[in-house]
Amino acid sequence: MDFLKLLYFLTFVSLGVVATHADLDGYWKSKLPNTPMPKVVRELVHNGKTSGSGSFSKLPDAGFQVYTRKSQVNGHSSSFSKLPDAAFQVYNRKSQVNSHGTNPTKDQLYNDKTITIFFLGKDLHSGSSMNLEFVESLKITTLFLPRQVADSIPFSSKSVPEILNKFSLKPQSEEAETIKKTIAECEMPGTKGEDKYCATSLESMIDFTTSKLGKDVRAVSTEAEKIDTKIRKYTIKDVAKLNTADKVVSCHKEKYPYAVFYCHTSQSNAYMTNLVAAEDEAKAKAVAVCHKDTSQWDPEHLAFQLLKVKPGTAPICHFLPEDHIIWVPK
């Protein structure tokens, strides 16, 4: 039995529970009857073609390589951890950066300045142009487990040996390092004023979100027509604000044998933008998040370096990768 089949067997068969589409669909519809599933959730629930469902399927650079892609910034913890190649998939692989973590040292930092990573709130308007790259991520990811299965598997640093044993992983393997780093990131305290939670199932993600935003919520994600390694100059055709209150829940896909999302609250505004590329008219519906309060960010954060502003002085925005979710109150 090969590695992927073994993990599939351990995850679904030995636990005696089979993940069914109906279970996850049913929970979504019972909790969010008037909320359509965004693309990323549909893929993680229904994508039966994903290789090795519930396992480490196609993990490029899975072992949290140290800056092998030069500037992958940890976007949602208080430290800069070593990130896997596929952690943030909307930017060029040389500059995959999210928004609210700390920065590497300058000698570790490489940024491809041809790509728009962060931008100021004043630049989010029709006619504004930015260089972006949307990279395929949903086809190489891991699927949701139903909550009863996920809850039966330990998820803590002290239980790492048990977790590795359950998935038949050697302690020194790259997959083991991935598991340890993801759990450690989930256990780190959030920034001041932030509520954070690592959701190990779709059900727990919904419960966390509705506990913070109320039951009348909407989930949105980025969808791009052309998903490849090509950098395109996109022009914003229109912008629509998604939330009425200045609070959102952002959920970021983590590397793990099954779907785990790092979710956290922030004082932010979310927008849906329609983009069109100048070169080949490729279209994208991209979610942009603008962080209103950056006063708690590291003063050396990459966003401040690129935009030449200081913490707390201006809203800072960025587009979301395809495998992240923004939740907003309706």
Of 219, 216, 288, the C-alpha closest to 41 is 219
CB atoms within 10 A of CB 295: 12
Whole-number pLDDT of residue 84: 29
State the Cα–Cα distance between residues 115 and 97, nearest whole angstrom. Answer: 11
* Confidence (pLDDT) at 60: 30
What does 68-117 look like in DSSP terms, one character per residue? TTS--B-SSSSS-----TTSS-SS-TT--B-SSSPPPPTTT----TTS--
Quickly count: other Cβ atoms within 10 Å of residue 39's Cβ. Answer: 17
Encode pLDDT of 266-307 as tens digits: 889 999 999 999 989 999 999 999 998 898 888 888 889 889
The pLDDT score that the predictor gives to residue 212 is 95
pLDDT at residue 192, rounded to an integer: 79
Q: What is the pLDDT of residue 302?
A: 86
pLDDT at 312: 92
| pLDDT score of 113 | 58
| Residue 199 CA: distances (Å) to CA of 49, 191, 211, 254, 285 | 23, 18, 13, 10, 25
Extract the residue ranges of the chain whose pLDDT is less than 50: 1-19, 48-111
Instruction: Please name the residues in contact with 57: beta carbons below 8 A apart, sequence gap of 6 or more.
Output: 4, 50, 51, 140, 141, 142
- What is the SS3 assignment for 238? strand
Count helices and strands in the chain by DSSP H and E runs: 8, 12
Using one digit for the tens of pLDDT, what is the confidence trace for 68-93?
Answer: 222 233 333 322 222 222 222 222 22
Full-model pTM: 0.76
